[in-house]
């Protein structure tokens, strides 16, 4: 009887600590300076009572789940299905980040003109800013094979996220044991910010997958050699061309290499380990790096001028801009990431040092790296979140009572999902970006074969409204005609330090040019000021249109807004 009472007291004390910890975060939500899903905005309509109910419901649900043993299922299948299903409700969010415009135009180029044209024109006729080619290339293949629909992109990015969860499990299992890997994968669902990013047509989630794939394959290459060496080289090559910030993150491979060279026995790996001499690891690692260098070198030589220009832009513009555009670490690690994960990760450092566990360097290196170099923009560090959850799982293994461990893990996931669904999802669906999504759906219902689009410049020159046209294209199946007028661009000095400077580098794709045949047409006007007046040339264009619908939802938070008016005659 005494042990049972003791356990109930432990659950009660943990629940009490949980309740007051999150209540403090709610009260201090004003310090969350995240640029997209700050608690200050997403919880603006919540009272302390409403927030308390969320905490309590999460605690009760987590307590009920403590009686289940997740490991009775196939861990990989369970983690994949759990993560995939958890993300699907967020497919309803609009494209809230303007970068999606670039990736869509690049992907559509491949869809229309083919792979050969994409490879030839990438960085020339295709506007790329500081993008790498891999992810837009994959998006283009999806359009080519399945059709130009956003749902296929969302299914793909969700699939990659779910596979990242599985890879996290397998990395933890390979380095330590199944429990470390399993809870490392589970805790990846304890990062509510991720749910706002997975459904978007961006590169951050795919880059996270390719980084984790490169880490896992490299570990396998060192341990087993053979075909894994070639596979590892290919995965590193893919990660390298997924995103420029992945270059820094791939430095973790050097750490893995050194850890294995320092190992003297089979104790390095918990499973499927064959005792190897350091020179065997050196040979396998060196061959992997050599093959990777050759593959990367071939692509660099082919597009040397393009990459050189991009690197110069990164050094001159992106690097100094990081200090201006970043969020505070307290926002990232305590509001956008479940604080249980952060606290457990910090505690795990003490445990690893106490044990002198050299393997721990593999999962902690990149976290230390971003802290030392003050890389504070959350979108630039998304790809290392699986390593953070492995750190947290490593620390949680000190809890000997499996029911308490399951309670903490379950609550972390449940609370994060509640936050993401009840606040983040609701907030994102009220941003002005949803006007583009809704307008696209409305256009699909019209009996119009072509859509002529016009954009109105805002009073401020922060954003070029032309970038909203490809996003509208993503949400409609109609053919779009758009004539971009470069004469409306402000002087370069007005936007040279803006994080949205890329919008003024916009190039109108060839597939938006052409003439209107006059049959079954509709006209769309995109603007950011509800009080804006239409210029004479647009007034002349809309003469004779009997109907108009305006899409004007606004969250009153972000400076740049997108409102849409559709003029038409036939439904």
DSSP string spanning 460-480? S-SS-GGGHHHHHHHH--SEE
How many whole angstroms separate alpha carbon 107 and alpha carbon 127? 11
If we measure between CA atoms, which residue out of 131, 137, 128 comes closest to residue 108?
A: 137
How far CA 54 is from CA of 320, 358, 507, 567, in Å, comes to: 40, 40, 46, 43
Cβ atoms of residues 455 and 465 within 8 Å: yes
Burial of 349 (0-12, 13-18, 19+ CB in 10 A): middle
pLDDT at 544: 85
What values do phi and psi take at 29, rounded to 5?
A: -60, -15
pLDDT at 509: 93
How many whole angstroms separate alpha carbon 92 and alpha carbon 90? 5
Cβ atoms of residues 186 and 168 within 8 Å: no
Structure tokens of 9?
A: 């007291």
pLDDT at 33: 94
Please enumerate in sequence order all residues whose Cβ is within 8 A of that of 558, keeping only pairs 6 or more positions apart, or say none: 431, 432
If we measure between CA atoms, which residue out of 309, 292, 274 comes closest to residue 124?
A: 309
Angle at 177 between CA 175 and CA 183, to 5 degrees: 105
Q: Which residues of 260-290 are buried (b: 16+ CB within 10 A; e: fewer)?
A: beebeeeebbbeeeeebeeebbeebbebbbe
Strand partners, 547: 568
DSSP 481: E
Structure tokens of 498?
A: 């803006």
How far is Cα of residue 175 from the mean position of the Cα atoms in its chain?
A: 26
Length of the chain: 571
pLDDT at 185: 98
How many whole angstroms separate alpha carbon 162 and alpha carbon 178? 18
In this prediction, the residues of the chain whose per-residue pLDDT falls under 50 are 1-2, 265-266
How many whole angstroms separate alpha carbon 31 and alpha carbon 47? 17
Give kind and range of the element (H or E) at residue 563.
strand 563-568
Cβ atoms of residues 89 and 465 within 8 Å: no
Cβ atoms of residues 325 and 375 within 8 Å: no
Give kind and range of the element (H or E) at residue 527.
strand 521-527
Q: Please, what is the angle between helix 134-146 and helix 150-175, to 10°? A: 130
> Could you count the other beta carbons within 10 Å of the beta carbon of residue 320?
10
pLDDT at 1: 44
Please enumerate in sequence order all residues whose Cβ is within 8 A of that of 70, keeping only pairs 6 or more positions apart, or say none: 78, 182, 186, 406
pLDDT at 263: 75
> Could you count the other beta carbons within 10 Å of the beta carbon of residue 570?
11
């Amino acid at each position: 009887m005494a042990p049972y009472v003791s356990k109930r007291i432990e659950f009660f004390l943990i629940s009490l600590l949980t309740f007051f910890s999150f209540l403090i975060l709610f009260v201090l939500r004003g310090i969350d300076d995240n640029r997209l899903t700050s608690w200050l905005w997403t919880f603006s309509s919540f009272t302390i009572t409403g927030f308390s109910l969320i905490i309590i419901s999460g605690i009760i649900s987590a307590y009920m789940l403590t009686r289940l043993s997740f490991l009775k299922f196939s861990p990989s299948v369970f983690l994949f299905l759990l993560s995939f299903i958890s993300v699907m409700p967020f497919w309803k969010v609009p494209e809230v980040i303007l970068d999606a415009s670039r990736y869509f135009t690049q992907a559509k180029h491949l869809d229309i003109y083919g792979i050969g044209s994409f490879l030839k024109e990438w960085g020339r006729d295709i506007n790329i800013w500081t993008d790498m080619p891999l992810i837009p290339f994959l998006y283009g293949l999806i359009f080519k094979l399945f059709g130009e629909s956003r749902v296929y992109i969302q299914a793909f990015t969700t699939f990659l996220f779910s596979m990242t969860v599985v890879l996290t499990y397998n990395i933890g299992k390979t380095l330590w044991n199944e429990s470390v890997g399993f809870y490392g994968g589970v805790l990846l669902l304890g990062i509510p910010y991720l749910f706002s990013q997975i459904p978007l047509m961006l590169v951050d989630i795919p880059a996270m997958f390719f980084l984790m794939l490169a880490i896992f394959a490299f570990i396998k290459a060192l341990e087993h050699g053979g075909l894994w060496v070639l596979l590892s080289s290919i995965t590193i090559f893919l990660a390298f061309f997924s995103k420029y910030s992945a270059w820094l993150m791939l430095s973790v491979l050097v750490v893995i290499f050194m850890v294995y060279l320092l190992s003297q026995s089979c104790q390095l790996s918990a499973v499927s380990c064959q005792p190897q001499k350091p020179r065997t690891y050196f040979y396998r690692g060196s061959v992997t790096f050599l093959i990777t260098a050759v593959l990367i070198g071939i692509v660099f030589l082919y597009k040397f001028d393009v990459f050189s220009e991009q690197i110069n832009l990164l050094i001159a513009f992106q690097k100094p801009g990081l200090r201006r555009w970043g969020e505070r670490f307290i926002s990232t690690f305590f509001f956008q990431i479940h604080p249980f994960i952060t606290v457990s990760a910090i505690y795990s450092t003490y445990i690893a040092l106490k044990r002198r566990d050299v393997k721990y360097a593999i999962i902690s290196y990149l976290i230390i790296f971003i802290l030392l170099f003050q890389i504070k923009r959350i979108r630039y560090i998304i790809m290392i979140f699986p390593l953070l959850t492995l750190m947290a799982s490593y620390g949680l293994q000190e809890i000997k009572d499996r029911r308490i461990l399951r309670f903490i893990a379950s609550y972390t996931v449940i609370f994060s999902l509640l936050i993401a669904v009840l606040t983040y999802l609701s907030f994102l669906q009220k941003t002005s970006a949803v006007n583009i999504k809704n307008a696209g759906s409305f256009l699909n219902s019209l009996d119009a074969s072509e859509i002529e689009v016009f954009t109105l410049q805002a009073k401020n020159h922060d954003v070029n409204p032309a970038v909203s046209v490809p996003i509208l294209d993503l949400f409609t199946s109609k053919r779009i005609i758009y004539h971009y007028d470069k004469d409306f661009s402000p002087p370069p000095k007005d936007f040279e330090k803006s994080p949205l400077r890329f919008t003024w580098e916009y190039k109108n794709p060839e597939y938006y040019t052409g003439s209107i045949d006059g049959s079954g047409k509709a006209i769309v006007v995109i603007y950011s000021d509800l009080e804006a007046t239409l210029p004479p040339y647009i007034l002349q264009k809309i003469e004779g249109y009997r109907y108009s619908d305006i899409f004007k939802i606004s969250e009153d938070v972000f400076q740049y807004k997108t409102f849409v008016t559709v003029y038409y005659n036939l439904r």
